């Protein structure tokens, strides 16, 4: 399925190509596991993210989170799809923390997963993060309290 955006259709293959371009910018000298992400906003814009590691290892940030933070900082709140690219033989799904970060802005979303070559696999965020802890507003609450 090709998501329709305000700027026209965006094929999964194009979004995967964006994620692969982001992967090339990863800073992953410690794990040597570069990851690239590309997040498609309803506006039609694509936000890239790469993992950025640090000598203080726990400070490293995943590619998916980099992409979400870049998009939200640019004013986006609604998303249509995300692609994740790794330099591995088999595609790699996003870590649990990144699933939760994506879930803040999208109840469900196609997730295209691509390894170093070949076709991508498609999952959905709902499939990857079932029974999620959702933002309070979705549950009709304005606070965490009641």
Which residues lie near ligand THU (CB under 6 A)? 28, 31, 33, 35, 51, 53, 60, 62-64, 94-95, 98
Least Å distance between CB 127 and ligand THU? 15
Least Å distance between CB 23 and ligand THU? 9
Least Å distance between CB 58 and ligand THU? 11
When the beta carbons of 52 and 72 are compared against ligand THU, the nearer one is 52
Q: Using an 8 Å Cβ cutoff, are 60 and 54 in contact?
A: yes
Structure tokens at 24: 């090339």
One DSSP character per residue, 84-116 reads: EEESSSS--PPPHHHHHHHHTT-SS-EEEEE-S
When the beta carbons of 41 and 66 are compared against ligand THU, the nearer one is 66
Active site residue 64: yes
Phi/psi for 16 (5° steps) reads -65, -40
Least Å distance between CB 98 and ligand THU? 5
Q: How many CB atoms lie within 10 A of CB 14?
A: 15
One DSSP character per residue, 21-74 reads: HHHTT-B-TTT---EEEEEEETTS-EEEEE-B--SSGGG-B-HHHHHHHHHHHT
When the beta carbons of 40 and 63 are compared against ligand THU, the nearer one is 63
Catalytic residue among 13, 64, 104, 121: 64
When the beta carbons of 12 and 94 are compared against ligand THU, the nearer one is 94
Q: Which residues form the catalytic set?
A: 64
């Amino acid at each position: 399925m090709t998501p329709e955006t305000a700027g026209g259709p965006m094929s999964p293959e194009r979004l995967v190509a964006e994620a692969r371009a982001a992967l090339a910018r990863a800073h992953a000298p410690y794990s040597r596991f570069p990851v690239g992400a590309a997040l498609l906003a309803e506006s039609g814009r694509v936000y890239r993210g790469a993992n950025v590691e640090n000598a203080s290892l726990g400070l490293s940030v995943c590619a998916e989170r980099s992409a979400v933070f870049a998009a939200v900082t640019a004013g986006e709140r609604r998303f249509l799809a995300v692609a994740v690219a790794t330099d591995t033989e088999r595609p790699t799904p996003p870590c649990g923390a990144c699933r939760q970060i994506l879930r803040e802005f999208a109840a469900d979303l196609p997730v295209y997963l691509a390894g170093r070559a070949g076709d991508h696999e498609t999952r959905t965020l709902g499939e990857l993060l079932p029974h999620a802890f959702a933002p309070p507003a979705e549950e009709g609450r304005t606070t965490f309290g009641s």
